[in-house]
Structure 1
Amino acid sequence: MVAPVTTGVGRADRAAPGPGPGRSRVAWLVVVPFLAYVGTFLVYPTVSVLAGAFQDADGGFTPTNLADLTRGAYLRAFLRSIELSAITALLGAVLGALLSWAVAGGAPDGPLRRVVVAGAGVLAQFGGVPLAFAFLATVGFQGFVTRFLRDSFGVDLFAGGAWLFELPGLTLVYTFFQIPLMVIVFLPALDGLRPQWREAVDSLGGTAWTYWRHVGGPVLLPAFLGAVLLLFANAFSAYATAAALVSQGSPIVPLQIRGFLTGEVLLGRENLGKALGLGMVVVVGVAMGLYAVVQRRFARWQR
């Protein structure tokens, strides 16, 4: 006689009933506030910007607003924003990757790693007005470093002009929060490198350069490129730090939009600010789309 065979899968299926009506109602109670928040503060503003970018002062359809973005001060603002974001993304990625590599080489639960990771988590969010004030108090016209160098060594940091309040200053300040963000994003990728890969290269007579050239580098490249794109989007959409440092002029797109929201110089052209916002949405959307592509490629190496 052959005893009937029962599988564990069947028992598990019988023991795990589907979610009941009560659980579904609780899930909706959690999801609905989140959907309302997203719809109010993300979907509605995006739709409003998209619609207003193609409207004139009377509400009629016009492509003039978008056409204005391709010339004059608005085109220069976009080019400066892209330049600023690209430079700070590359600087933050390279310096942050080196710091991540130094931390990853230590003990996983060591005090150095804990301090660096905790500090990166704090400093990555340390932006806006507090960060601008910190740089003003440090290397501003009357900052303590500026006064120390001037009084002790006769070195004037502002001999060549007010660089801190222009694109070079924004580059320095933006890089400050880009580096810790890179550490947070890139350190898990370094932790994903398997020791067996290095041991295999060593057993075949390879060197450290051979390992990074043929194994470590190709594995980390998608993660590095994805981090660069994430840093680019982060810098391109930053506003508060630049607004606190640059009180006059609008060298980048977020400050151009501020002018349309707070000024009355271009009366009747308010929708041009929405066109600028739409341009920012497109640039950030392209960057994040490329980020998703390279992240999927990186995920293949983690399987």
Structure 2
Amino acid sequence: MKWLGLTPFALYVLVFLALPATLAIGTGFFDSDGEVTLDNFAVLLEPAVQQTFWASIWVSALTALLGASLGALLCYALLGAREGGPLRRAIDVASSVLAQFGGVMLAFAFIATIGIQGILTVLLRDQFGLDIFENGVWLYQLPGLILPYLYFQVPLMVIVFFPAMQGLRREWAEASATLGGGSLTYWGRIAGPILAPSFLGSLLLLFANAFSSYATAAALISQGAQIVPLQIRAALIAETGVNRANSAGALALGMLLVMLIVMVGYSALQRRAARWQG
């Protein structure tokens, strides 16, 4: 009867995750008249849609790689802080908050700071004659998603990767030094291989986080559909083409397949990392 304890969580997953996902994807198998069809999936072969998938993939991969690298460096720096000390507690709290700070609030923060009439943009332009933000126009284009995404990618990396960094034992470094190994030897032959599964797993998690993000991109990019979530939005609100709403389900299925591949890889890497963490 121990499984009864999982009932609330199972109901939550069913009602708020599984059921909405099934309904969204299921619309891709019907036409505007309610007849079963596979014609909607032809949208996945359109060059514009494939370009949108590619844009989503490279933005997600780039922000995941940058976020993982910066987050790993921050985790390494935190190893020197006293466990339970004020600095480590402050970083933990800030990471937990900032990792969830996304959507319209994050977009507004960047628009107000480095947008077309952002405080920093106007200050640098009017007071110093500098236009390093290109008058803020770049923020509303595809490359403009990189900086806002990093805002929550780096804290998320700290949350998921720092426990692995904490798992490194001081005895391993001492044993390496006793045998004549330097810092490069320790990180290249001992700590690096041990942390590699956790780092790659965190990297995949950050990719999935960026790939599925919608609200921040929707608030920044109001024109066009440069990434897949915005392409789905365009299909749902399009006033031309009777089958566009149904094609949103096909696009959602394409996203789900990408996410499924990423999460299977993440689970495999987490199981490998758990071998030494346990």
TM-score, structure 2 as length reference: 0.94
Q: Report the equivalent of 2:261.
A: 286
Q: Secondary structure at the match of 2:45?
A: coil
Q: Report the equivalent of 2:182.
A: 207
Aligned length: 278
Question: Could you tell me how far apart the structure 1 residues matched to 2:50 and 2:135 are?
Answer: 27
CA, structure 1 residues 214+31, in 2 after alignment: closer, same or farther (shift >3 Å)?
Answer: closer
Q: How does 1:1-303 map to 2 (within 5 A)?
A: 28=4, 31-159=6-134, 162-303=137-278
Question: Could you tell me how far apart the structure 1 residues matched to 2:177 and 2:63 are?
Answer: 36
CA, structure 1 residues 104+133, in 2 after alignment: closer, same or farther (shift >3 Å)?
Answer: same
Identity rate of aligned residues, in percent?
54
Question: Could you tell me how far apart the structure 2 residues matched to 1:159 and 1:292 are?
Answer: 42
Question: Could you tell me how far apart the structure 2 residues matched to 1:243 and 1:269 are?
Answer: 19
Question: Could you tell me how far apart the structure 2 residues matched to 1:282 and 1:98 are?
Answer: 31
Contact 1:226 1:291 in 2 (8 A): yes
Q: Secondary structure at the match of 1:270?
A: helix
Higher radius of gyration, 1 or 2: 1
CA displacement at 1:285 relative to structure 2: 1.1
* CA deviation map 1:198-253 (0-9, x unaligned): 00000001100000010010000000000000000000000110011011111001
Question: Could you tell me how far apart the structure 2 residues matched to 1:269 and 1:186 are?
Answer: 41
Paired AA for residue 77 in structure 1: T
CA displacement at 1:32 relative to structure 2: 4.3
Q: Which range is displaced more, 118-127 or 59-68?
A: 59-68
Question: Could you tell me how far apart the structure 2 residues matched to 1:261 and 1:272 are?
Answer: 8
Contact 2:106 2:216 in 1 (8 A): yes
Q: Secondary structure at the match of 1:254?
A: helix
Paired AA for residue 229 in structure 2: P
Contact 1:120 1:181 in 2 (8 A): yes
Contact 1:56 1:269 in 2 (8 A): no
Question: Could you tell me how far apart the structure 2 residues matched to 1:158 and 1:196 are?
Answer: 48
Cα root mean square deviation, aligned:
1.8
Q: Secondary structure at the match of 1:264?
A: coil
Q: Which range is displaced more, 84-93 or 33-42?
A: 33-42
* CA deviation map 1:7-51 (0-9, x unaligned): xxxxxxxxxxxx7xxxx8xx84x6544433322222222322343
Q: Report the equivalent of 1:3.
A: none
Contact 1:260 1:266 in 2 (8 A): no
CA, structure 1 residues 245+161, in 2 after alignment: closer, same or farther (shift >3 Å)?
Answer: closer
Paired AA for residue 180 in structure 2: G
Q: Secondary structure at the match of 1:53?
A: helix
CA displacement at 1:72 relative to structure 2: 2.2
Question: Could you tell me how far apart the structure 1 residues matched to 2:105 and 2:50 are?
Answer: 30
Question: Could you tell me how far apart the structure 1 residues matched to 2:248 and 2:91 are?
Answer: 40
* CA deviation map 1:166-209 (0-9, x unaligned): 11110111011100000011110000001000000000011000
Question: Could you tell me how far apart the structure 1 residues matched to 2:178 and 2:72 are?
Answer: 27
Structure 1 gaps of 5+ residues are 1-18
Q: Which range is displaced more, 107-116 or 244-253?
A: 107-116
Contact 1:57 1:269 in 2 (8 A): no
CA, structure 1 residues 161+240, in 2 after alignment: closer, same or farther (shift >3 Å)?
Answer: closer
CA, structure 1 residues 159+35, in 2 after alignment: closer, same or farther (shift >3 Å)?
Answer: closer
Question: Could you tell me how far apart the structure 2 residues matched to 1:215 and 1:207 are?
Answer: 11
Contact 1:138 1:145 in 2 (8 A): yes
